[in-house]
Amino acid sequence: MQDFAAAAHGPSPVFLVVITVGGLVALWCGVNWAFDVRGITTHRSERIRRRNEETWTATGRPGGSPTFFASVGRLRFLGALLAFTGSVMLLAAYALWSLN
């Protein structure tokens, strides 16, 4: 049992790679989503919101957006939150790697 404890120094490399790759993906997607680099996300969400509003008013239901993610501001906020989460994951991976 003591040999196993002596051999286990620090976090496993697989764990560090998973956290690092997850952090990079979250940072990349979050920055693209927050700054809307290509405009695809916000334009698509705006079309969905308009279509849903037209459908709701045509059926006699109250107007408004039936989906939570339909506004551009919410998409940009969630993108910024995702980018922040990715950077925290990268900092955690670096801290674990440096602590060994």
Locate the domains of the chain by residue range.
15-99
pLDDT tens, position by position, for the chain (100 residues)?
A: 454 545 566 678 888 999 999 999 999 989 988 887 666 666 777 777 777 776 665 555 555 555 555 567 787 888 899 999 999 999 999 998 888 7
pLDDT value of residue 51: 76
From the list 19, 17, 67, the residue with the least C-alpha distance to 45 is: 67
Q: Which residues does 13 contact at the CB level (< 8 Å), separation at least 6? A: none
Instruction: Spell 51-76 as b/e; 16+ CB within 10 A means b.
Output: ebeeeeeeeeeeeebeeeebeeeebb
Residue 8: count other Cβ atoms within 10 Å of its Cβ: 9
Structure tokens at 5: 């404890």
pLDDT value of residue 1: 46
Please, what sign has the CA dihedral across residues 14, 18, 20, 24?
positive
pLDDT value of residue 18: 93
